[in-house]
């Protein structure tokens, strides 16, 4: 059994256990604190090394240029949120689908390594994670983009697509390039995705994003950018951003009864994470391209 397969099997066990206690977590309002803590310990670190990734993929790139580029791209997305929040939300879903698809295609060595395959896989996985419970999805979208009857009617229509069809597409993509050496890995991943549908939207997405996506991204960065460093030293690099994020998250948790926080905090956190997604996925795209070229 490979390390990747062991990782997937571990997450499968976690997912099954979480599915059993999901009603308890929802009843006691523990979902959000668990998600925020998960993002803090894996989600934030997986994006905190973007400047190291940029210097690894392009050694001529200066830190000043990197930060100017990063802030410019983030600023464009933020401007889109201010002017057209619904469009910004849809754009975020599109780039997230691409990012998930590219990461899983690279890590699971799915063939052919083509844009259409990556985007289709990522879209299906994102759809699978988000649309198991349309009512819950509508609730969270309402918090982000506020009331929009036309948008919600569109969400309801999309959610009506049979999830079995989406899962079938994922199966076809994973099985099409299966080999004897990775068959167990592929099957385990499919069972893991299916198990996620038995949890809530927040918990299922969190397990996939924090437990799978963020950790395999960190592993990729560690084995390439920080190949000569020990994990302990690599993790120390992310401490400043983790501490700043922790301060924000714990303020939200402990002050969640505050009227302003109830109205704006979750939206602000979501928008903050979304504006960082575009520059982050571009840096990871460059890294995957470089690693692919080096492996030939």
Residues 86 and 127: their CA atoms lie apart, in Å, by 17
* pLDDT value, residue 117: 94
* pLDDT value, residue 102: 96
CB contact set of 249 (below 8 Å; sequence gap of 6+): 36, 37, 39, 40, 269
User: pTM for the complete prediction?
Assistant: 0.90
| Exposed/middle/buried for residue 135 (C-beta within 10 Å: 0-12, 13-18, 19+) | exposed
* pLDDT value, residue 116: 94
Domain positions in the chain are 3-295
Evaluate whether 211 touches 11 at the Cβ level (below 8 Å).
Answer: yes
Tens of pLDDT along 117-170? 999 999 999 999 988 887 788 777 777 776 555 555 555 555 556 788 899 999
Q: Which two tokens stand for residue 43?
A: 């989600």
Q: Euclidean distance between the first and final Cα of the chain, in Å? A: 25
CA neighbor of 283 nearest in space, from 103, 114, 121, 117: 103
Evaluate whether 283 touches 290 at the Cβ level (below 8 Å).
Answer: no
* pLDDT value, residue 164: 84
Residues 133 and 153: their CA atoms lie apart, in Å, by 15
Distances (CA, A) of 272 to 135, 248, 269: 24, 12, 5
pLDDT in tens, the chain (296 residues): 788 899 999 999 999 999 999 999 988 888 888 888 888 889 888 888 999 999 999 988 888 999 999 999 999 999 999 898 888 989 999 999 999 999 999 999 898 888 999 999 999 999 999 888 877 887 777 777 765 555 555 555 555 567 888 999 999 999 888 887 889 999 999 999 999 999 999 999 999 999 999 999 999 999 999 998 888 888 888 877 777 777 776 766 666 565 555 566 667 778 888 898 999 999 999 999 999 888 76
């Amino acid at each position: 059994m490979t390390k990747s397969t062991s990782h997937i099997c571990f997450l499968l066990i976690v997912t099954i256990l979480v599915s059993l206690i999901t009603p308890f977590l929802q009843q006691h309002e523990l979902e959000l604190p668990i998600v925020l803590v998960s993002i803090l310990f894996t989600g934030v670190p997986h994006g905190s090394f973007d400047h190291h990734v940029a210097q690894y993929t392009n050694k001529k790139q200066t830190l000043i240029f990197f930060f100017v580029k990063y802030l410019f791209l983030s600023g464009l997305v933020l401007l889109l949120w201010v002017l057209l929040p619904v469009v910004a939300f849809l754009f975020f879903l599109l780039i997230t689908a691409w990012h998930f698809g590219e990461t899983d295609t690279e890590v699971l060595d799915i063939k052919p390594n083509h844009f259409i395959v990556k985007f289709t896989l990522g879209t299906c996985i994102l759809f699978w994670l988000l649309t198991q419970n349309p009512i819950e999805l509508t609730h969270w979208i309402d918090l982000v983009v506020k009331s929009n009857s036309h948008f919600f009617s569109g969400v309801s229509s999309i959610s009506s697509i049979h999830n079995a069809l989406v899962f079938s597409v994922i199966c076809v993509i994973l099985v099409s390039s299966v080999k004897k050496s990775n068959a167990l890995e592929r099957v385990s991943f499919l069972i893991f995705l299916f198990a996620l549908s038995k949890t809530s939207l927040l918990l299922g997405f969190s397990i996939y994003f924090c437990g799978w996506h963020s950790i395999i991204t960190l592993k990729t960065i560690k084995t390439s950018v920080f190949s000569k460093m020990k994990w302990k030293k690599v993790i120390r690099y992310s401490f400043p951003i983790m501490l700043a994020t922790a301060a924000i998250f714990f303020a939200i948790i402990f002050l969640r009864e505050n009227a302003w926080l109830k109205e704006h905090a979750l939206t602000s956190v979501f928008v903050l994470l979304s504006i960082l997604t575009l520059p982050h996925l571009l840096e990871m795209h460059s890294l995957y391209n470089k690693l692919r070229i080096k492996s030939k």
